[in-house]
Structure 1
Amino acid sequence: MKILCWNCRGLGNPRTVRFLQLLLKKEVPTMVFLVETKLDARAMERIRCKLGLQRCFTVDRVGLSGGLALLWVGEIQLQIKSFSRGHVDSIILSESGVASWCFTGFYGNPIASLRSDSWELLRRLQDQMHLPWLCAGDFNEILYAHEKSGMAARSQRQMDGFRQVLSDCDLADLGFEGAAFTWCNGRAGDGMIRERLDRCVVNERWLNSFPMARVYHLGGTSSDHLPILLDLEGVKAQMAHRPKYRKLYRFEAMWLREEDCEGIITREWHQDSNLSGVELVSGKLRAVASQLQAWNW
């Protein structure tokens, strides 16, 4: 099973629809979650027919912006639980009709001052969650400073708010393979900004159910966002024989606020070693980095 998520920035452009058609032909996803369709239900139904998918649930645009759509193939048994301008919550049923797991297509408020409303929405969804849970889409926020490139650094308060809601909801980022960023403002030179705004987060029960799941950042987009593809069985990685993406280690300033951080550094730095000189220092740095990464997770 594959799930495609994409902030398409409007499906009124025939070029965007053609790109989506080609993408679906190549990747053959079972479910598709689209953000910023800028369409109403009637127009989205015409797009569904062009895409060749059998089912569609639409959240209409408001004015000339917004709009969400969840599309899926006929073999999937899916029930819509709730929806809003920022989410579509659904249950995937087994062949016997029993609830198996939940999928939430999510769109974080693009206005920074209102993003806390999106985080409260996630908390309300979590309060009702008793199944394996996958939440994916455009969160309009980053978790760490290295997920942004260009111009001023992201507000620490904004990142802390995102990290806190994931912690409160027992959700963890699934990681990814591919390009480091999913959004670009399209400018050149010093004016270029790139960020990782699109992602998949899951609770432990979902990860235990799908331990081979992999997320891919796809290219060639007609939008300022890259599509992301979640392969629940990791087949794409197995066929391509590509190594798993490994994030570069970066020390996060927020760690200094936690008492455990100093203890980890002190303990690892004073471990006995048979090395000396430069090898001793580099070995201790690697050990500290490894322990901090594990602690952070």
Structure 2
Amino acid sequence: MSTYSWNCRGLGTPWATQFLKESVLQKQPKFIFLSETLCKSDIVEKVRVVLKYEGALAVDSQGHTGGLALFWRNNSDLRVLSYSKNHIDVMVDIQGWHTYRMTCLYGEPDRTRRRETWDLIRMLNNQVNLPWVLIGDFNNILSQEDKKGGRLYPSWLIQGFQRTLEDCDLNNLELNGYKYTWERGRDTTEMIEVRLDRAVASHSFLHIFTEVKLINLGISTSDHSPIYLEPIHQSSRNFIKRFKFENAWLREPMCKEIVRDVWRDQSDKSFYDKIGTCSEVLSRWGEEFTGSFKKRIRECKTVMQSLKGRRDADSKRLYSHNSKELTEIYSQQEVFWRQRCKQLWLREGDQNSKFFYASTKARRKINHIDVLFDKNDCMTGWENGL
């Protein structure tokens, strides 16, 4: 039921395929939608085999632009309704779930042709009467708050997109995680961030799937970050929150100090009590540390902007200090989102990942010896002398 959507900006590159493979290994989505694949159907078919999905539909790129691909895990779960260079429309019918309609959308990148995307949404709205969700790169925003940096977004584009969703009775889904999904000019004063990727749903869809989560997965090999749509069963509300160590904490000296202080203060406690107390303290501190990336980045940039152009030694020293701190925050933020994607998990030391444990268990199973042949070529097991 879960859907992974990503503007990959070229599927034929080894790093894009590897990143997709690692993301899919972690999230295990039922469906994967890729836009701007910049390739033909033969490349899409090779990726399908690598991902071990049963079905795939490819819309070939036109020259060096465009291209769509949709992968599904089981052929029985999906029926294709229509497709074009800007959309793939399917009916999803999974046993135990309500039947619904999903449209994977790639909005016209040319602003002068954006009305074609709006007309496409209106046309699709009149075709099949099912609970409906649309997901993908809409290449449009709903308000100026969806954009950071650069000039203001043209108001006629915002209003046109808003009217389209109103006419089709579609609701914008809240994005969990980082607010923006596309960036340009990172680590420069001209950096621009925009939320171009999103999901919208009809009232009937939200009535059936009362809890639906849309997550920005953060890190990516493209200038777009992937988004992940997951309707949540009612029964999954009650869960036990477990402590998880953040790799980004290792880049902050305070983390080591916290562990040392807890260990010293709890010297008369058992090992397990120390671990429990340490996890509680780290959780409280880490929630503020990893949840304030945006605030810390804004503060550094504000200071640097105020010092820009000053020539005295103190200003230069303070500017340099904030510049280094900004670089470190970006580095911490990247590690934070990499851990969630489990990308480069071993390099970052993520030895608590499910992938690590799955690999270890598989290796143990392969290496396990049940029987051996003795010197008389008789089969010997653990019960009879091995």
TM range (shorter): 0.7 to 0.9
SS of alignment partner, residue 12 of structure 1: coil
Q: Work out whether residues 105 and 138 of structure 2, in 8 Å CA contact, stay in contact via their aligned partners in 1.
A: yes
Q: Percent sequence identity over matched residues?
A: 35
For residue 94 of structure 1, report the CA deviation from its aligned partner.
4.4
Deviations 1:138-171 (A, max 9, x none): 0001101111000101011110001000011110
Which residue of structure 1 lines up, in the alignment, with residue 189 of structure 2?
A: 190
Corresponding residue SS for 1:135: strand
Query: Structure 1 residue 104 and structure 2 residue 103: aligned?
Result: yes
For the aligned residue pairs, the C-alpha RMSD in angstroms reads 2.2
State the shift of 1:237 in Å: 10
Asked if residue 138 in structure 1 is aligned to residue 133 in structure 2, the reply is no
> SS of 2:189's equivalent?
helix
Deviation for aligned residue 1:201 = 0.2
What TM-score results when the alignment is normalised by the length of structure 1?
0.77
Q: Under a length normalisation based on structure 2, what TM-score does the superposition of the two structures give?
A: 0.60
Letter aligned with residue 220 of structure 1: I
Q: Secondary structure at the match of 1:211?
A: coil
Contact kept? 1:91, 1:99, Cα under 8 Å: no
What corresponds to 2:50 in structure 1?
50
Q: Distance in 1 between matches of 2:178 and 2:142?
A: 16
Letter in 1 for 2:59: V
Who is 2:33 aligned against? 33
CA 1:65–1:24: 2 relative to 1, 3 Å: same
Distance in 2 of aligned mates of 1:236 and 1:18: 33
Report the Cα distance in structure 2 between the residues aligned to 1:30 and 1:93, rounded to whole angstroms: 12
1:220 corresponds in structure 2 to 219
Shift of 1:220: 1.9
Distance (Å, rounded) in 2 between the aligned partners of 1:28 and 1:240: 21
Q: Would you say 1:117 and 2:109 are equivalent positions?
A: no
3-state secondary structure, aligned to 2:225: coil
Q: How many residues align?
A: 242
Alignment of 1:132-171 (within 5 A): 132-171=131-170
**Cα offset, 1:200, TM superposition:** 0.6
How far, CA to CA, are the matches of 1:186 and 1:51 in structure 2?
32
For 1:140 and 1:165, locate their aligned partners in 2 and report how far apart those are by CA, in whole Å: 14
Alignment partner of 2:49: what SS? helix
Instruction: Look up the match of 1:283.
Output: none
Please state how far the C-alpha of 1:188 moved relative to its aligned partner. 3.2
- Cα 1:240/1:127, change in 2 over 3 Å: farther
CA distance in 2, matches of 1:126, 1:59: 21
Task: Give 1:238 deviation, angstroms.
Answer: 5.7
Q: Which amino acid aligns with 1:39?
A: C
Q: Deviations over 1:105-143 (max 9, x none)?
A: 000000001000010000000011300001000000110
Contact 1:54/1:73, CA 8 A, preserved across alignment: yes
How far the C-alpha of 1:54 sits from its partner, in A, is 1.2
Give the whole-Å Cα distance in 2 for the aligned partners of 1:132 and 1:148.
30
SS of 1:201's equivalent?
A: strand
- Equivalent residue for 1:71? 71
Q: Judge conservation of contact 2:180–2:193 (CA < 8 Å) in 1.
A: yes
For structure 2, the 5+ residue unaligned runs are 243-286, 292-386
Written as runs of structure 1 = structure 2, the 5 A alignment for 1:133-282 is 133-233=132-232
Unaligned runs of 5+ in 1: 246-297
1:4: how far off? 0.3
CA contact 1:123–1:165 (8 Å) conserved in 2:
yes
Distance 2:36 2:85 in 1: 10
Change (3 A) 1:127 1:24: same
How far did residue 74 of structure 1 move? Answer: 1.4
Does structure 1 retain, via aligned residues, the 8 Å contact 2:181–2:218? no
Per-residue CA deviation, residues 44-96 of structure 1 (Å, 9 max, x unaligned), is 10011111211101111111111101101116521111111100000112449
The one-letter code sitting in structure 2 at the alignment partner of 1:186 is: G
Letter aligned with residue 64 of structure 1: H
Cα distance in 2 for residues equivalent to 1:191 and 1:221 = 20
